[in-house]
Amino acid sequence: MVAGCGTDSQLLKKVAEIYDWLELQIHRINDLAGVCKSCGSCCDFDTFDHRLFVTSPELMYFAASLGAEDVKAMLAGRCPYNVGGKCSVYEHRFAGCRIFSCNGDADFQSELSESVLAKLKSTCTEFQIPYRYLDLATALNSHARG
């Protein structure tokens, strides 16, 4: 299920809290997190040889934040929200976008990913929604198809 404005506000609050927690971890251990210069290169997945996976509650949060009609399909190897090299949905970007840094510590990123995924998975259990872990293109395209 991917919902828009009808999504449970408690669920949206929970995802926002998880993102807040995530930002705290990243800023707490800056040395390991790396320094992102926001060049946007890694949002061009094919060229950068990078993949981004997103979860069902994140997609629900994303659709509700943007408005379901503004969720775009991903028709090429680049994230459709990368506009002129910049993230046009920065406030609502996914956990993977927040964690990945090309000059960060891979082990730190991997452990942080595991922790965040555990929180998102338990959110699915709490709100009785299916847990999905999809690459960004599949997630956006299936939402766009309705």
Could you list the residues that contact ligand SF4 (CB under 6 A)? 36-43, 52, 79, 81-82, 87, 89, 93-94, 97, 100-102
Residue number, 10 or 41, with CB nearest to ligand SF4 = 41
CB of 4 to ligand SF4, least distance (A): 18
* 99 close to 109: Cβ distance less than 8 angstroms: yes
CA-to-CA dists, residue 25 to 46, 48, 121, angstroms? 29, 25, 19
Place of tokens 């061009």: 44
CB of 125 to ligand SF4, least distance (A): 26
Residue 53 tokens read as: 């996976």
124 SS3 class: helix
Residue number, 39 or 126, with CB nearest to ligand SF4 = 39
CB of 128 to ligand SF4, least distance (A): 27
